[in-house]
Chains A and B, each alone.
Chain A
Amino acid sequence: AQKVTQAQTEISVVEKEDVTLDCVYETRDTTYYLFWYKQPPSGELVFLIRRNSFDEQNEISGRYSWNFQKSTSSFNFTITASQVVDSAVYFCALSGRYNNNDMRFGAGTRLTVKP
Chain B
Amino acid sequence: DSGVTQTPKHLITATGQRVTLRCSPRSGDLSVYWYQQSLDQGLQFLIQYYNGEERAKGNILERFSAQQFPDLHSELNLSSLELGDSALYFCASSVVGTSGTNEQFFGPGTRLTVL
Contact = CB atoms under 8 A, between A and B. Distances in A.
Interface residues of B, number: 28
B103 A50 contact: yes
Contact of B101 (A45, A100, A108): A100
Given A43-B108, A44-B108, A101-B33, A108 B42 contact: yes
A106 B52 CA distance: 29
Interface in A70-115: 91, 95-105, 107-108
Interface in A9-64: 31, 33, 35, 37, 43-47, 50, 52
B103 A47 contact: yes
B94 to A, nearest CB: 7
Interface of B: 2, 31, 33, 42-45, 48, 50, 55-56, 58, 88, 90, 92, 94, 96, 100-109, 111
Interface of A: 31, 33, 35, 37, 43-47, 50, 52, 91, 95-105, 107-108
Given A99-B31, A101-B58, 7 more contacts: A44-B108, A45-B90, A47-B103, A99-B50, A99-B96, A101-B48, A101-B56
